Structure 1
Amino acid sequence: MAAVQAHRDLEVDRDDYVDVHGALREAGLDGMARPMPRLFGMYFSPHDRGPGVLLNAQLDIITQRHTAAHELGHHRLGHGTALDKELDRTVGWGDGSWPDEEKTAEAFAAWFLMPPPAVGSALRRIGVERPRVPEHAYQIARWLGTSYTGTVNHLHRLRLLTRAQKAAWLKTKPAVIKTTLAGGLVPSKAHVHVIDTTVHRATVRVDVGDLVVLRTPGAHFDALPDCLVPTDNPEGQLFWDEDAPATVAEVTDALTSTATVTVRMPGAADLLEVTIARQSPRVGVLELWPT
């Protein structure tokens, strides 16, 4: 209920990717991101010269987004100043060591970043009514900007997965899923974003090193911006083959904001068009709350 109220009060689009940093700004929180070993983030309550948040700039963007939502949860739920020190959020959960405020802030983060309408939109973009395989959960996570584990757990909360499915899918390593989707080995920190006919004119949020993949037989990139480099050959090995139509492309640091990608789909008269937008970990003050 608190997450739904926050969506309403902060004018968050519940049908798509949630702009958590924009929500922090809309909520009136001061904040910054800086390198902080062994620390996720901090929430400063109004009683301690807040409200404000401090985020770890060394986290990847997915973990940093979740941390930002967690700190927003502390604020919206009226909690006191909180220091989130444990880098493995699974440690201690369920063994009685987590304070109630941490549990509720963590639950808030999940419901804030993955509202049911946004989950429904992600399902439509991957072309299914319900997730049937772990790859579906991974793709949903990419559209929502969330972790694979967190997404699997939330799909179970939404009754889209059975308890047995949740247990089995949590044992599936994201590295295996990424290799399956990309058709070859993928760097450990890279994510894989699948493009299909269902995502025409959608925005795909990526970071440097991520792979944009076409899995439809016969599909190939019609035009790639300079910030995307072809990286595949027909055998699925990830390297550039200039003679083969590109079906996998890697994001480079030339992408600073957004770019347009067009794809030639078999049997389609018109080109499929998507926007890729960079979502990188925030640092400093101005990059965390840009004007």
Structure 2
Amino acid sequence: MAHRIAGMRAVQAHRDLGIDRTRYVPVHRALGTAGVLGMARPMPRLFGVYFAPLDNGPAVLLNANLSAITQRHTAAHELGHHLFGHHTAADDDLDPALRRAGAKWPEEEKLAEAFAAWFLMPRPAVQAGLLRICRGTSLGPEHVYRLAQELGTSYAGTVRHLDHLRMLAPGQAGSWQKITPAALRRSLTGAELPAGRQVHVLTEASHQQQVHADVGDVLLAHVPAASFTALPTGLSCWHGTPVTCPALEVTDALAEPAQLKIAAAGRTAPVEVTVIRESPRHGIDQVWPD
């Protein structure tokens, strides 16, 4: 029931906040559009806090120590509290997989959590991403991992949402959630990556798409006879993989969106991709990058 209600509210929110439902959802910008003050600071035990209008809100306080993906999910969760008109809420457990067996979650938390999934992963964006990624092949765990990177969501959360969308066969969600993101990154690169680093696979279908990455992330060019025509500031060659395709690493020098061009066999024009740094937010909303 929570997912049915949250799914409908997310569609309304996309419409009201001017969100393109076919692509990556800019959740931090959505908070501002909704009139919610956004702030981020290090917090040892909390994911985030929603302050209702009765408590000098609406405002959202996020944990600045979270990864970009976790912070995006937390921001969407707190936005859900706001749009449902909930009371002030402090959230210290936003992952159902981490919850103690048998513990009850308040109804408001169920709605906000379900809203976060439907808001960050609209059905049209999921369908468009899988069309680019699968290219006529059967859906597998690596495809789901790649979709999660396109949408800025966690692998486990994306598996759960695909199950809610009824895009998985019975039992697939349970078995695929047992696969770790580290194993999928290793499968894509052939190498062990430090915790927190992600892999973004670029293909010809990535042309004119955006890649939201962070420092240390790896970009793999799965393009026939690929070569980079030039390396923008903030992207450097990565040699930590035994795979044969060209690979880049995002560095701390990436401040502004970078236009990456990949020459490919059989193409008269290069594959063009915009790489955007998706760093965790700090401070108040005016200084958060979009």
Give the TM-score of the pair, scaled to structure 1.
Answer: 0.91
Note the residue ranges of structure 2 that are not aligned, 5 or more in a row.
1-7
Cα 1:152–1:114 change in 2 (3 A) is same
Distance in 2 (alpha carbons) for counterparts of 1:9 and 1:130: 36
| Correspondence for 1:240 | none
Distance apart, 1:288 and its partner CA: 5.5
Q: Structure 1 runs of 4+ off > 4 angstroms? A: 286-291
Distance in 2 (alpha carbons) for counterparts of 1:129 and 1:76: 38
The size of the alignment, in residue pairs, is: 283
Q: What is the correspondence of 1:48-197 to structure 2 with a 5 Å cutoff?
A: 48-86=55-93, 88-92=95-99, 95-128=102-135, 132-197=139-204
Distance apart, 1:87 and its partner CA: 6.3
Query: Which residue identity lines up with residue 129 of structure 2 in the other structure?
Result: A
Note the residue ranges of structure 1 that are not aligned, 5 or more in a row.
237-244
Cα 1:180–1:43 change in 2 (3 A) is same
Query: Which residue identity lines up with residue 81 of structure 2 in the other structure?
Result: H
- Deviations, residues 101-155 of structure 1 (Å, cap 9, x unaligned): 1011000000000000111121122143686210000010011000000000001
Distance apart, 1:223 and its partner CA: 1.8
Query: Which residue identity lines up with residue 201 of structure 1 in the other structure?
Result: Q
Higher helix share: 2
Q: What is the root-mean-square deviation of aligned Cα atoms in Å? A: 2.0
Distance apart, 1:218 and its partner CA: 2.6
Whether 1:271 aligns to 2:270 is yes
Is the 8 Å Cα contact of residues 68 and 278 (structure 2) preserved in structure 1?
yes
Query: Which residue identity lines up with residue 149 of structure 1 in the other structure?
Result: A
| Correspondence for 2:54 | 47
| Correspondence for 1:207 | 214
Distance in 1 (alpha carbons) for counterparts of 2:125 and 2:246: 27
Is the 8 Å Cα contact of residues 40 and 55 (structure 1) preserved in structure 2?
yes
3-state SS in 1 of match to 2:284: coil
| Correspondence for 1:239 | none
Query: Which residue identity lines up with residue 239 of structure 2 in the other structure?
Result: D
Is the 8 Å Cα contact of residues 233 and 258 (structure 2) preserved in structure 1?
no
Distance in 2 (alpha carbons) for counterparts of 1:68 and 1:265: 38
Cα 1:268–1:183 change in 2 (3 A) is farther
How high is the sequence identity, in percent, across the aligned residues? 51
Distance apart, 1:206 and its partner CA: 0.6
Distance in 1 (alpha carbons) for counterparts of 2:246 and 2:217: 14
Is the 8 Å Cα contact of residues 231 and 246 (structure 1) preserved in structure 2?
no
Distance in 1 (alpha carbons) for counterparts of 2:153 and 2:20: 16
Distance apart, 1:25 and its partner CA: 0.3
Give the TM-score of the pair, scaled to structure 2.
Answer: 0.92
Distance apart, 1:250 and its partner CA: 0.4
Distance apart, 1:46 and its partner CA: 1.0
